[in-house]
Structure 1
Amino acid sequence: MKPVTTDLCDAYEDRLAAGTLRVMAPVFRAFGKQDAFAGPAATLKVFEDNSLVRTVLETPGQGRVLVIDGGGSLRCALVGGNLGVLAQKNGWAGIVVNGCIRDTAELDACDLGIRALAAHPQKSQKRNIGQSEVALQMPGAVVRPGNWIYADADGVLVSDEQLEG
C-alpha cells in the first residue's frame, strides 16, 4: 500500500486530536526512488556518528522504517549511497533522518524512501556512540520503536498503531 497522508489525516481526525496519530514538522526533503512508504519504526539516536546506522541497516529490515534522530545536525551526513544500497538489499522500506544525507544521486537510485533535512557532502565520525530502540523527539512528533511511519509527498505521519488506509 502506498500511503496517502492527507487521506489518513482525514480518516483519523480523532486520533490526531487524541495524539495517537502525529504529524512531523514539514522540514524534510525527499530522496530515494519511493515517493511514498510506510512501515513500523526502528529507532536510532546518534549525533554526528553513523556507525550504528550501518549496524542497524545490516540487519533484515522486514519492511521497517529506520527513524534516526541525528539531533538536527547540519554539519555532516549520517546516510550515504553505500548505506542506501545496504538498506535496499536488506529489505528496509525507508529511512527518516533528523539530519543530513549525502550521495544524493546514489540514494535516488535506491528502491526505498528517504526523508532528511538536507544534503551535506561531509561524512560523519565513527565512534560507535548512540542508542537504538529508544523514544525519539523528532521535529514535531515523538517516535517510539514499533510506531507506524507513513510518508508521502505531503508529509510524514507517526501512528501508535497500523492504520487501514
Structure 2
Amino acid sequence: MALQFQSLGGRSHFSGPVRTIRCFEDNALVKSTLATPGNGAVLVVDGSGSLRTALMGDMIAASAVENGWAGVVINGAIRDREAVAELPLGVKALGSNPRKSAKAGAGETDVDLLIDGVTIRSGATIWCDPDGILVER
C-alpha cells in the first residue's frame, strides 16, 4: 500500500491472518472484536482514512494483547500513542488524535475492504514491518 502508515505499537514486525472491520468514527466493533480470541490474527480496520477521531486507544490495545492478537492496522487514527507504543502489539495507523470516537456499533465485520487500491479480505495473510504493509492477493 502506498499510504504512509506509521508504526505506532511496541512490535514493528508482525503478520498473521486478517480479520476486517469497516467503520467510520465509531470504534464499538473494534473494541468488541479485539476482546475476542485473536489467535495471532491481525485486525484491519477501514476507518475511511479519518483522522478526526481515534478508533483505538491504550485500553483496547491492551485487550488485543490479552486476547492474543498479533496486531492492528487502522486506516485512520489511534489515541494514547505513548502507552500503545509500550505494548507488545503491532500497530499501524495513519496518525493519532486524542478525540474519542462514537460507540454506536455502526459498521461491518469480515467484509472485503478496499484501501488505497488494495483489496483486503478476511482470511488473507498480511505482513507489516517498518517499511510498509504487504497483503496476500
TM-score, length basis structure 1: 0.81
Structure-2 residue corresponding to 1:105: 82
Please tell me whether the aligned partners of residues 39 and 63 of structure 1 are also in contact (alpha carbons under 8 angstroms).
yes
**Residue type at the aligned position of 2:130:** A
Structure-1 residue corresponding to 2:120: 143
Q: Unpaired segments of 5 or more residues in structure 1? A: 1-23, 161-165
Q: Does 1:131 align with 2:108?
A: yes
Aligned mates of 1:76, 1:67 — CA distance in 2? 17
Equivalence map 1:8-19=2 (5 Å):
none
In angstroms, what is the RMSD of aligned CA positions? 0.8
Q: Unpaired segments of 5 or more residues in structure 2? A: none
Q: Once the two structures are superposed, what CA deviation does each residue of 1:81-137 show, in whole Å capped at 9, x if it has no partner? A: 001100000000000000000000110011011000001010100111110000001
Structure-1 residue corresponding to 2:2: 25
Aligned mates of 1:63, 1:101 — CA distance in 2? 21
Structure-1 residue corresponding to 2:42: 65
Q: Does 1:50 align with 2:27?
A: yes
**Residue type at the aligned position of 1:49:** D
The answer to which structure has the higher helix fraction is: 1
Q: Structure 1 stretch 139-148 or stretch 149-158: which is displaced more?
A: 139-148
Please tell me whether the aligned partners of residues 150 and 157 of structure 1 are also in contact (alpha carbons under 8 angstroms).
yes
Runs of 4+ in 1 over 3 A off after TM superposition: none
Please tell me whether the aligned partners of residues 49 and 125 of structure 1 are also in contact (alpha carbons under 8 angstroms).
yes
Aligned mates of 1:137, 1:37 — CA distance in 2? 21
**Residue type at the aligned position of 1:132:** T
Q: Does 1:95 align with 2:72?
A: yes
> What SS is found at the alignment partner of 1:127?
coil
Please tell me whether the aligned partners of residues 84 and 107 of structure 1 are also in contact (alpha carbons under 8 angstroms).
yes
Aligned mates of 2:38, 2:8 — CA distance in 1? 18
Please tell me whether the aligned partners of residues 75 and 122 of structure 1 are also in contact (alpha carbons under 8 angstroms).
yes
> What SS is found at the alignment partner of 2:30?
helix
Aligned mates of 1:88, 1:135 — CA distance in 2? 25
Aligned mates of 1:128, 1:141 — CA distance in 2? 25
Aligned mates of 2:81, 2:51 — CA distance in 1? 15
Structure-2 residue corresponding to 1:77: 54
Please, which of 59, 81, 98 is the counterpart of residue 121 of structure 1? 98
